[in-house]
Amino acid sequence: MAINHSACIEACNRCAAYCDHCAVSCLEEGNREEMAECIRLDLQCAAICRLAAQYLAQDSRFAIQLCELCAEVCKACGEECGKHDHDHCRECADACMACVRECSAMVA
């Protein structure tokens, strides 16, 4: 694994974990209709973050393109989570925006 990828890989893995936690917490709270978009984006964001981390670790020639998409999905998820007052949503939004920064730096 290239050393310059490690910060992005860590941010992606961290974001995926926060997204998983946020989705499960939203489901457990019982207001699923209100939180449906948040849950949907959490699941999509976690999936793309894990894939981006995997591609970066493999030094895939497609990693940079995937980082660009990952940043876009993380931004959407972070913005959605930022609309809610739950601690898990705020923490997830922060992790998403950190991942946006790292993935965007990979693309630049």
Domains along the sequence of the chain with CATH = 3-107 (1.20.1270.360)
Half-sphere exposure of 49 (CA within 13 A, CB side): 34
Contact 27, 39 (CB under 8 A): yes
pLDDT, tens only, 3-44: 589 999 999 999 999 999 999 999 998 788 899 999 999 999
Q: How far apart are CA 53 and CA 58, in angstroms?
A: 9
pLDDT, tens only, 43-102: 999 999 999 999 999 999 999 999 999 999 999 999 999 999 999 999 999 999 999 999
Q: How far apart are CA 51 and CA 65, in angstroms?
A: 12
User: What pLDDT, on a 0 to 100 scale, did the predictor assign at position 31?
Assistant: 83
CB atoms within 10 A of CB 62: 11
Structure tokens at 102: 């790292």
Binning pLDDT at 50, 70 and 90, where does residue 2 land?
Answer: low
